Structure 1
Amino acid sequence: MADFAVWAPLPRLVRLNVDGAVHPMARDDDGWWRASVDCAPASRYGFVLDDDPTVLPDPRSPRQPDGVHDRSQLWDPRAARWTDAGWTGRPVPGGVIYELHTGTFTPEGTFEAAIGKLDQLVELGVDFVELMPVNAFNGTHGWGYDGVLWFAVHEPYGGPDGLVRLVDACHARGLGVLIDAVFNHFGPSGNYLPRFGPYLSSATNPWGQGVNLSGPGSDEVRRMIIDCALRWMRDFHADGLRLDAVHAMVDTTAINILEELAAETDSLAGVLGRPLALVAESDLNDPRLVTPRDHGGYGLTAQWDDDIHHAVHTAVSGERQGYYADFGTMTTLATTLRNGYFHAGTYSSFRGRRHGRPLDTTLIPATRLVAYTCTHDQVGNRAVGDRPSQNLDQGQLAIKAALVLGSPYTAMLFMGEEWGSTRPFQFFSSHPEPELAAATALGRKSEFADHGWDADDVPDPQDPGTFLRSKLDWSEIGQPHHARLLEFYRGLIRLRRTEPDMADPWLPHLDIEFDERRRWIVMRRGRIAIACNLGADPAEVPATGRLLLDWGEPQVGDASTTLPGHSVAVLRAV
């Protein structure tokens, strides 16, 4: 006997179709329709609304074996085979996260193939694997942010059973798993939810119509979001979620959905006996996201920090277009590293207004912010998806890595960054509908034309070659210059673990010196000094001690160190 339920307050009649047989459903006062049916454990099912004979998938579908437009399939998480009973989890703050896209991480593009690369991530030294969205979305391949059935796992990756095996394999190797969850919109194809109830709001965001978080009927929509989030952590043993673009989740209620979700996540962590994390992506520079709830905040674990990315990238690369306009100087770099945000209530020329709020560095440790040199967004949302490794020399890549991994922030890498992958990461999609495919390609070209890029250079997201070009080439690791950068990354991550001063999370303890003209910076963390020369000419910097790690053969003297152009020295005072 299987129990079926769907929240559908809009239709007058809802019937259940299980393996072709139609069954009546009973409605309660809250708009839920329910039925219990004897059926096989993997039965296909869907719902028929009013007089339309179309069988629609379950908004909370556990599995979509034939895509988002077809019937759902029962999948019982209690039948999953786990071997991670001894896994007690690990905290995200202070760790190193590795963001990857399942479809391009390996040639096969599956969960099973990803398992074969986990040992290399262990050797790298990262603590968490962060999977870009694995929810069911339209087509065979894409970034995953246009999901429409949030509870189901994208079938071409391996479906729910494949995800179970991947998470289990990660835990067996001591790796935690974060899953990217998108609750700010639904994708443009396969979204049948408006036929069931008021799932959408009148608000719009860059990706479509917003989710109803505070209008009539929003209680059930909020419950759906929370239930979905908890499902990833409970049924799939994920150690937390990355919450996509929370600034686009418009909520005018007294208790924000993020605060509500954080409280329920903490409760689940207590039940499971392991830490669970919520890491927000937000462009608001609002510390309330990570401020404890007993201090008036939402109590999330951490948030992405684009200001650090912008400050590091512009100082090293010299790029100043678009939202990089306010960054690029050594002063900006030092200010951002010291304070967590650059825009903390200051004027943003890109936005044409003040932006952000200061971080209370005596209350909130730096580990509540996630720093990175690149992400899927910062690479994939460039016109041609070019990585820093395609535009900078290896010394400059080493500087960026040292500034992020040597900082007190939680660190994140984007797949392939650690060896300087030369493969781009481009925006790709596989919408089967010709009109949607054409609109996606046109929209992409128009977006970049508005920012001064040549629209003719923008790859067609629907071209299979765009997807294939974005797959990592793991053979590059065997080439000496790639192997050297990889070893440098391993060394930086190792120092985060072995040097006690590198574990200090408090920004008031961070000391920074820099020279704007000669373009060097020294970041001191207790006895550890991370010295970087961003300039092309040699520079003498006020740091000395035992050389722990370097790039570019610096010369360490009694009172100072001479850094060649584009070089790094990590020193411990003696």
Structure 2
Amino acid sequence: MPLSLDVWAPLPERVDVVVDGLEVPLERGEEGWWRLPAERQDLLREGAGYGYRLDSGEALIPAPRSRWQPDGVHGLSRLYDPASYAWQDSDWTGRQLAGAIIYELHIGTFTPEGTLTAAIDKLDHLVELGIDLVELMPVNAFNGEHGWGYDGVGWYAVHHAYGGPRAYQEFVDACHARGLGVIQDVVYNHLGPSGNYLPLFGPFLDDSVQSPWGSAINLAGEDSDEVRRFIIDNALMWLQDYHVDGLRLDAVHALVDTRAIHILEEMAVEVNALSTFLNRPLCLIAESDLNDPRLITPREAGGYGLDAQWSDDFHHALLANLTGDDSGYYADFAELEALAKVIETGFFHDGTKSSFRGRRHGRRLDTPTIPTWRLVVCSDNHDQIGNRADGGRLATRQTPRQLQIAALITLLSAYTPMIFMGEEWAASTPFMFFSSHPEPDLAEAVSTGRLEEFSKMDWDTSTIVDPQDPAAFERSKLNWGELDGEVHAEILATYRDAIALRRTYPDLTDPRFEWVAARFDPDSHWFVVERGETMTVAVNFDMDPVEIEMEDGVQILLRVGDVQLVEGRLQLGRQAAAVLHLEAEAMPGRS
């Protein structure tokens, strides 16, 4: 996308652009677009500061498609040409999602500096760990200096506190130089509460459709063609101009679209076309709580054609059995039978009654045609941690053995595993919900709302940290010095060893559901996952030792806790686990 000052603004009767103090009227074009006069193309200078004056108003409004907001979302925009960056990744051929491991991180808390440039120095750690794809929580421009990024309003700009667009390109380039792909988390289902100037330009919101954040994005109403184009162009921008390898689409269940071709299907078509042109794989991953297989069903089979979606059911089943928590939505997942169903079929709620929702939920996956890797799974993520009142990680609530068990089940599952930053060494630092709204009224509303939310849940309010308190942000930064600790190093070794096994044994990345089987004992709480013909993951969730009969010829590849193999019986001590491999000589018909 070349430098441009053109803007879609069907609502105002007059639009002027002010570039470095020089004011120029724009010319009204077709379909609500205002164009820079041909004789004023000299204004298109990289680095020039600019804003729009609508209907001769006093205020200068930042650009809807601004690439650079150096002074925040309320400041002037600045022209930035992504083509001015000299990319060094010409040999990069991409990373496919199938068989990959994702690492989710938040730029602001990943390093002490909290910038894209500083994050580059930690990429070698991810390479040594065995990561394939780095997933960044939203980096679009949002109100204030620090926050999660999901209340963004400048969808085309890279947040100024992270370093802006050039730093983002340098980060992606550095990832590619190390063989790491990049997935960018994007939010198209709502806009933040401050700095959203889009409604001044056009009908970006549909007041007749309400969402949890107010008026919904206008995906199906009058003039929605340009709103949809605004979204799809943004998706293509990350993939093409910033060389990103995939997008994680936030809360797609909140996209209210009644048109015959859903915005997700339309996006998938265009991303596939771009992938063909660029000759490298590009992926779209949906976050959805619908358990709707149509998201990841190919278009030719009647689906939207996205590449993957997050699976909350996996997380809930694993955590409920690991921790014994059967409160709230965990109630349906509290038995090993639920974990076995999720391991074997993808969804637990596939048309079954959800006690939390009070109704039937989900739809069964067509497992013969949908590969396992289309589901992204985890034992922790930013939501599961940050949406706790204290921002406490799983590592602060469970024993090291339990954390290692969770790692083995997740990393050696048939699905696409995702690790949340610091999880691999059982980081003790929290990941709290934090914000930095400079407006006193908005700041107070956020703080009060957080307190009321958890008070209704009977949570100990003394553990609740005010999101606006700078300490919530500072305490959420990773402590990389922990890596030297004995327990942290032991956890990290388990993660590295498990990932190495995925790279070594094909059965651990086989994408066929029919090659996954689970068996368990509900009384003694042992659980076994069989992958293909050769691999077995066996865990003991209980505090008492157990024995499990194994096939003759298996060998132990990885141990967690007290593990012995005696005359075909696997002995697992309290909260122990093992990964086993059936040697070829022991398999029928093989030598």
The TM-score with structure 1 as length reference comes to 0.99
Asked whether the equivalents of residues 562 and 574 of structure 2 are also in contact (C-alpha less than 8 Å), the reply is: no
Per the alignment, residue 411 of structure 1 pairs with: 417
Give the C-alpha shift of residue 457 in structure 1. 2.3
Say if 2:509 is the partner of 1:500: no
- The CA distance in 2 between the partners of 1:267 and 1:350, in whole Å, is 40
State the match for 1:120 in structure 2: 125
CA contact (8 A) 1:187 1:208 kept: no
Q: Which residue of 2 aligns with 1:314?
A: 320
2:104 partner SS:
strand
Amino acid at match of 1:81: A
Query: What are the superposed Cα offsets for residues 54-81 of structure 1, whole Å, 9 maximum, x if unpaired?
Result: 1000001111011000110000011012
Residue 169 (1) aligns with residue 174 (2): yes
State yes or no: 1:58 paired with 2:58. Answer: no
1:10 maps to what in 2? 11
Bigger shift: residues 501-510 or 138-147: 501-510
Helix, strand or coil: the match of 1:148? strand
Q: 2:85 maps to what in 1?
A: 80
Aligned residue for 2:566? Answer: 557
User: How far apart are the structure 1 equivalents of 2:212 and 2:497?
Assistant: 40
- Name the SS of the counterpart of 1:260 in structure 2: helix
1:297-338 superposed Cα distances (whole Å, 9 cap, x missing partner): 011010000000000011001112222121111111111111
Q: Supply the distance in 1 between the matched residues of 2:356 and 2:366 (Cα, whole angstroms).
A: 25
Counterpart AA for 2:79: L
Q: Could you say which residue in structure 1 is the equivalent of 2:588? A: none
For 1:252 and 1:566, how far apart are their aligned partners in 2? Answer: 49
Secondary structure of 1:513's match?
strand
TM-score when normalising by structure 2: 0.96
CA 1:476–1:208 in 2, change beyond 3 Å: closer, same or farther? farther
Distance of 2:174 and 2:35 partners within structure 1: 37
1:486, 1:450 → 2: CA distance?
Answer: 37
Structure 1: distance between partners of 2:418 and 2:549: 29
- Alignment partners' CA distance in 2, 1:529 and 1:272: 39
Contact 1:46 1:71 in 2 (8 A): yes
Displacement of 1:279: 0.4
Partner of 2:541: 534
**Does the residue aligned with 1:194 lie in a helix, a strand or coil?**
helix
Deviation at 1:558, TM superposition (A): 2.5
Aligned residue for 1:561, secondary structure, equals strand
Map 1:26-41 → 2, pairs under 5 A: 26-36=27-37, 37=40, 38-39=42-43, 40-41=45-46
**Secondary structure, counterpart of 1:325 in structure 2:** helix
**Deviation, structure 1 residue 559:** 1.6
CA RMSD of aligned residues (A): 1.1
Residue aligned with 1:523, SS? strand
**Distance apart, 1:2 and its partner CA:** 5.7
- SS state at 1:326 partner: helix
Kept in 2: contact 1:543–1:571 (CA 8 A): no
Aligned equivalent of 1:268: 274
Distance 2:173 2:61 in 1: 32
Residue deviations 1:58-109 (CA, integer Å, cap 9, x gap): 0011110110001100000110121000000010122100000000000000
Separation of aligned partners in 1, 2:61 and 2:190: 19
SS across alignment from 2:444: helix
Instruction: Indicate the residue corresponding to 1:444 in structure 2.
Output: 450
> Does 1:236 pair with 2:237?
no
After superposition, residues 216-365 of structure 1 pair within 5 angstroms as 216-365=222-371
Are the equivalent residues in 1 in contact too, given 2:99–2:373 (CA < 8 A)? yes
Contact 2:15 2:56 in 1 (8 A): no
More off after superposition, 542-551 vs 406-415 = 542-551
Residue 143 of structure 2 is aligned to residue 138 of structure 1? yes
C-alpha distance in structure 1 between counterparts of 2:261 and 2:435, whole Å: 36
- Report the CA distance between 1:51 and its aligned residue: 3.0
| Matching residue of 1:158 | 163
Q: Deviation per CA, 1:178-236, whole angstroms, max 9, x where unpaired?
A: 00000000000000111111001232333343211001111000000000000001011
CA distance in 2, matches of 1:220, 1:476: 49
Partner residue of 1:180? 185
SS in 2 for 1:30: helix
Cα deviation, residue 452, structure 1: 2.5
Aligned residue type for 1:27: R
Name the SS for the 2:579 alignment partner.
Answer: strand
Aligned to 1:105: 110
CA contact (8 A) 2:465 2:472 kept: yes
SS of 1:4 mapped into structure 2: coil
Tell me how many residue pairs correspond in the alignment: 574
Partner Cα separation in structure 2 for residue 111 and residue 386 of structure 1? 25
Aligned-partner Cα distance in 2 for 1:208–1:185: 8
What stretches of structure 1 of length at least 5 have no aligned partner? Answer: none
Match of residue 543, structure 1, among 533, 538, 550: 550
Structure 2 residue aligned with 1:25: 26
